[in-house]
Amino acid sequence: MTTLQQENPAPARAPEPAVTGIPAKPRPSKMRRKEARFFWLFISPWIFGFVVFLLGPMLASVYLSFTDWDSFTDPTWVGFGNYVKLITEDTVFHKALWNTLYFAFFSVPLGMGIALWLAALLNKKMKARKIFRTLVYLPHLVPIVAVALIFQMILAPDAGPLNRVLAMFGVDGPAWLFDSEWVKPAIILLSLWQAGGATVLLLAGMKGIPQEFYEAAEIDGASSLRQFWSITFPQLTPIIFFNLIMGIIGAFQVFAQVYILTQGGPDNASQMLVPLLFTEAFRNYHMGYASAISWLLFLMVMALTILAFSTSRKWVFYETEVKN
Amino acid sequence: MAELKVYQSTAFTYAGLMVASAVFFAPLVFVVSIALSSDQTVGTGAFSLFPTEFRWENFVRIFQTQQPVGNFVVNSVIISVLSAVGQVFSSALVGYAFARLRAKGKNITFMIMLATMMIPAQITMIPQFILFKELGWINTFLPLIIPNFFGNAYNIFLIRQFVSRLPVEMDEAAMVDGLGYFGIFRRIVLPMMMPVLIAIAIFTLTWTWGDFMGPLIYLNEDTKMPLALGVQLLTSTSQELQTPPWNLVMVGTVFLSLPMIIIYYFGQKYMYEMNISTGSAGVK
């Protein structure tokens, strides 16, 4: 989201040349009023969608989160009851929250690390670069439902290829999705398979780093590792930062893989916030309770985003803009 | 002058990339291998990484199961194409207005729109479900398609950025020629917007094609499900402890994934540009 705000958040452009050629008057001219009317007419689809699909539902959701509602009878007001229960009593929610944090804080930085390492390699002059790039990018294109089904086979405890490979090294592979110790690493593994998606972006960012930096470093005798940490990495921090935030937000909303592969099991070891929210809302018909979960989810996403932005000054390098 | 160190590839570069590519690509090879396996192999579970059998008939047999796979595919196409059409037209119109037309309150409206991008879909999920239920839209495609006809903040933002960089001289000339705002939009700006519109169409197509939660909430009849939701029904078996037809399930994942790879191949030029200009890894 940094880039969004960097690139003139408000349309603060220089005054446009008057289309009519008539000097500006204090009272808006007929032409300007007509222009404004067309503006509101043209954006009316968005305004309608905003009110009906976003603002209205948001307000309804706030209200519902303070009620007990099964969607068939009238809602009953319970005040902060749902929130209090979620925060103080509901151990399944606590587990889901912990698991989601665990998933986000391993999968996102690890994925970024892999993407960065691949980009650094692919940035070099070499043969068959395009083929390598395609091979690491392809998994990113596979829809998450298909990824889940594929990994159901790969992680199969006995005949699955992963455990067969591990056996070749004398390692007795775990039961992955059926083992409460290993189910979270399994789901992280599944997300890492798609890490190549960010590589293409990082690679584009690397292309925009001025050659002179490296030439100067070369003269100073810096090693290639040193060059990476002193030039490449700082220059890429805006892209890395943006994708970290987006990645964390995405990781908090993880759903399909959990729903398809484990249904939150075994013993809630892979239960996460959105699958729990879905189950409460559409399986148990606890609409009020589920709404409260959605607001806690929102608050956490917001808190993390604010935290990331407020600390970004320390480590994000903005001096040279990322090439657009 | 010798090649700079950053661009020098060593044996380690090749070794690293070969191992990484193999690890990333192996699951896809495995999918094809299972998809081409016989039912006997599925029964024993002894799949090999590389295909040893070539039962191409699996790609036909998947349409003869108890699950209406043909319907799944058609439904996916209908939902994602209509969503993309809605998203392209609505976002184009709104994005153009934000880029070119002047009005009091425009800046604040734009800020509000940007702020909506921060709101996770889960917040509005339940009230939207109630709304669509009241409208009698449950078990139809409408809840999945119709909201796309009202634009999306991210797409509108992309279009606004794109149009802001286009020269205004053409608009002005058209205005002098007596073309109205809608005429300028349709005849002048819309044709120039093509690259960004294609990118948005691709984003919407791929997102809708792979969406699981939306169909799961709104569709409960097998014949109405898109492929992303239907394909996992293939894993359900009539009897407990019976092995699912994994070969057909993997054919299903091929059907689910291949169109995305093809679309990417033909559209990467546009997606790449848009991704770079926003620095995001795309909407996924």
The predicted complex's ipTM stands at 0.89
**In terms of domains, do B93 and B116 share one?**
yes
**Count of the separate structural domains present in chain B:** 2
Give me the phi and psi of A76, to 5 degrees please: -110, 135
- Tell me what pLDDT residue A39 has: 96
**In terms of domains, do B119 and B50 share one?**
no
Q: What is the dihedral of CA A48, A53, A57, A58, to 10 degrees?
A: -80
Structure tokens belonging to residue B44: 């024993």
**SS3 call for A154:** helix
Of A116, A105, A324, A118, the closest CA to residue A236 belongs to: A116
Instruction: Give the number of other CB atoms < 10 A from CB of residue A309.
Output: 15
pLDDT category of residue B235 using cuts at 50, 70 and 90: confident
**In terms of domains, do B83 and B136 share one?**
yes
**In terms of domains, do B92 and B128 share one?**
yes
**In terms of domains, do B197 and B265 share one?**
yes
**Probe site for chain B from A19, A38, A226, A237 (most B CB atoms < 10 A):** A38
Shortest CB distance from B120 goes to which of A57, A125, A253? Answer: A253
Structure tokens belonging to residue A308: 């990331």
**In terms of domains, do B75 and B95 share one?**
yes
Contacts 24+ apart (CB under 8 A), B175-183: B175/A19, B181/A35, B181/A38, B181/A42, B181/B101, B182/A38
Distance from the Cα of A283 to chain B's closest Cα (Å) equals 10
For domain A83-315, the CATH architecture is Orthogonal Bundle (1.10)
Residue numbers of the domain that contains B155: 65-278
**In terms of domains, do B9 and B98 share one?**
no
Higher confidence at residue A5 or residue A107? A107
Q: Does residue B234 belong to any structural domain of this protein?
A: yes
Distance from the Cα of B177 to chain A's closest Cα (Å) equals 12
**In terms of domains, do B49 and B159 share one?**
no
**In terms of domains, do B43 and B72 share one?**
no
**SS3 call for A248:** helix
Q: Does residue B151 belong to any structural domain of this protein?
A: yes
**In terms of domains, do B152 and B102 share one?**
yes
How many interface pairs between A and B have CB atoms less than 8 angstroms apart? 312
Q: Is A81 on the interface with B (CB under 8 A)?
A: no
Q: Does residue B60 belong to any structural domain of this protein?
A: no
For β-strands A67-68 and A76-77, DSSP reports them as antiparallel
Q: Does residue B283 belong to any structural domain of this protein?
A: no
Question: Which residues of chain A make contact with B168, given a CB cutoff of 8 A?
Answer: 16-17
Of B137, B271, B275, B274, the closest CA to residue B217 belongs to: B137
Structure tokens belonging to residue A323: 């090439």
- Tell me what pLDDT residue B147 has: 96
Q: Is the per-residue pLDDT at B157 higher than 80?
A: yes
Q: Does residue B225 belong to any structural domain of this protein?
A: yes
Q: Does residue B257 belong to any structural domain of this protein?
A: yes
Q: Is this structure's pTM higher than 0.90?
A: no
Q: Is B15 on the interface with A (CB under 8 A)?
A: no
**In terms of domains, do B70 and B125 share one?**
yes
**In terms of domains, do B37 and B79 share one?**
no
- Among the candidates B14, B33, B55, a domain finishes at B55
- Contact (CB<8Å) A253/B122: yes
| Residue in the structure block whose two tokens are 């929102």 | A298
In DSSP terms, which residues pair with A67 in a beta bridge? A77
Residue range A244-253: mean pLDDT, rounded: 88
Q: What is the DSSP letter of A76?
A: E
Structure tokens belonging to residue A50: 């905003």
Per-residue pLDDT tens digits for A93-106 = 999 999 999 999 99
Structure tokens belonging to residue A95: 């587990």
Give me the phi and psi of A265, to 5 degrees please: -85, -175
